[in-house]
Amino acid sequence: MSIHVSLMLAVEDAPEAAGWYKRAVGATELWNLGGVVGLAIDGAPFFLHEPTQGFVSPGDCGATAVRVEVFVDDPDTFVRRAIEAGADGSADAVRRGFRDPFGRTWLVGDKTPLEPFPRESK
């Protein structure tokens, strides 16, 4: 069995947001229906959708219920590229991360959390 988990992010202007994610985090476009856009970062898909009833952007509600976590070989370069494209780099002073122009916090780290954690012997 193969399972893929992805995010659909509510954004006010999907084409504008898609352009920013392409510049800032190296996303590539999978498809574009105007108000809904499929993107991928190094093969990991995510989707953008303009708000609908019951699906609102962080700007609409003043908060975000999703924190995007990305695991890459070079976290510093990933974050730096986003900040150079206009992300707010002060989103998390302790960990590597940024807040994108659409209100979401992205935390970026290396790939160690993707491996099972060794259990201590009792």
Whole-number pLDDT of residue 18 = 98
Average pLDDT over the chain reads 87
Whole-number pLDDT of residue 92 = 58
Tokens found for residue 23? 């510049």
Whole-number pLDDT of residue 87 = 94
What lies within 8 Å, CB to CB, of 42 at 6+ separation is 26, 72
Whether the per-residue pLDDT at 91 is higher than 80: the answer is: no
Whole-number pLDDT of residue 58 = 79
CA distance 18 to 37: 7
First to last CA, the chain: 34
Q: What percent of the chain has pLDDT over 90?
A: 57
